[in-house]
Amino acid sequence: MRILLTGATGFIGSHVARLLLLLDHEVHAVVRPTSSRRRIEDLADRLRFVPVDLEDRRSLRAAVTAIKPELCLHLAWYAEPGKYLTSPINLDCIAWSLALARELQEAGCSRLVCAGTCFEYEFGAAPLTEASPTRPATLYAWCKLALLHSLQAFAGQSGLSLAWLRFFYLYGPWEDERRLVPVVIQRLLRNESVDLTTGEQVRDYVHVEDAAAAVVAAATSSLSGCVNICTGQPTTIRMMAETIGRELKRPELIRIGARANDPNDPPIIRGDSRKLQQATGWRQQICLDSGLKRTMEWWRGRS
């Protein structure tokens, strides 16, 4: 297929780009001219780069019109750790995402697949399905949900096929080094202690390569509406950190309970991926233990 991909320089997008090329798709990657391409340097001779800022409507229109994509994978969004949850840039992301949808529809693109987030849901003890109620608690999640509703209305009247991928917790090579898994790994590799909360928070972690395979499976299927990208396998922050500590032979550096728990941190965030599995046959291939070992090796090679 001829595919337009946004967010190709990001954590998820870089792995999706790699898999799409492996499957012999024609991938046109929209990349802001000032963005770092470090995650996709090895793909430079195979990706068809589109040096356009998504905020530049005129250049975006020209690019989409020239490419005439059959499918667009829209994974770009502002995601700087520590800032993205409350940043007003989220409002800008809605604007240029809607502009992209209009240009795609006018260019004859029949399918749009976008990145949502599990943070759109109302959290509770039960696994979250695509039918679970929503209750965003941050500007980031509100903006994602607002974009979904806007795109659903637009798709309903334009005939555009729309799938909305709700990502849970991802980890693996090329994750931002400021996020939890890389922080724990890097500090232990430097023989530094890691201060954590009680770590009893339950989370649904999926290796980024499994997530990329899920994205491609969903995008190239006829799935529509919301689709969870998760494993359905719960773990705790404590279990994950202690697994890393044991593997790196520095368990004493994991200081459980050294930090206070955040009262706003949901105790359980666990998904249900049966919709994706039943429609596409996708299955988790990389269990948490194996995925963490591979991730530790990757970071060790970069230290």
Could you tell me the domains of the chain? 2-169+206-229 (3.40.50.720), 172-204+233-269+285-302 (3.90.25.10)
**CA 133 to CA 278: how far, in whole Å?**
22
**CA 13 to CA 140: how far, in whole Å?**
19
Check: CB of residue 9 under 8 Å from CB of residue 49.
no
What pTM, to 2 d.p., does this model score? 0.97
Q: Are strands 235-236 and 202-203 parallel, antiparallel or unpaired?
A: antiparallel
Check: CB of residue 54 under 8 Å from CB of residue 76.
yes
Amino acid of residue 181: V
State both tokens at 119. 């943070």
Q: In which residue are the tokens 């693109």 written?
A: 109
Residue 268 has a pLDDT of 97
Burial zone of 218 (CB within 10 Å; 0-12 exposed, 13-18 middle, 19+ buried): buried
Residue 256 has a pLDDT of 97
Backbone φ and ψ for 41, nearest 5 degrees, come out as -55, -35
Residue 303 has a pLDDT of 76
Check: CB of residue 113 under 8 Å from CB of residue 71.
yes
Residue 131 has a pLDDT of 98
Residue 237 has a pLDDT of 97
**CA 103 to CA 70: how far, in whole Å?**
13
Per-residue pLDDT of the chain (303 residues; tens, 9 = 90+): 999 999 999 999 999 999 999 999 999 999 999 999 999 999 999 999 999 999 999 999 999 999 999 999 999 999 999 999 999 999 999 999 999 999 999 999 999 999 999 999 999 999 999 999 999 999 999 999 999 999 999 999 999 999 999 999 999 999 999 999 999 999 999 999 999 999 999 999 999 999 999 999 999 999 999 999 999 999 999 999 999 999 999 999 999 999 999 999 999 999 999 999 999 999 999 999 999 999 999 999 997
Check: CB of residue 273 under 8 Å from CB of residue 211.
no
Judged by DSSP in three states, 136 sits in coil
Tell me which residue of 9, 15, 76, 67 sits closest to 215, measured CA to CA.
Answer: 15
- The Cα-based distances of 44 to 39, 53, 66, 213, 260 in angstroms read 10, 19, 20, 21, 45
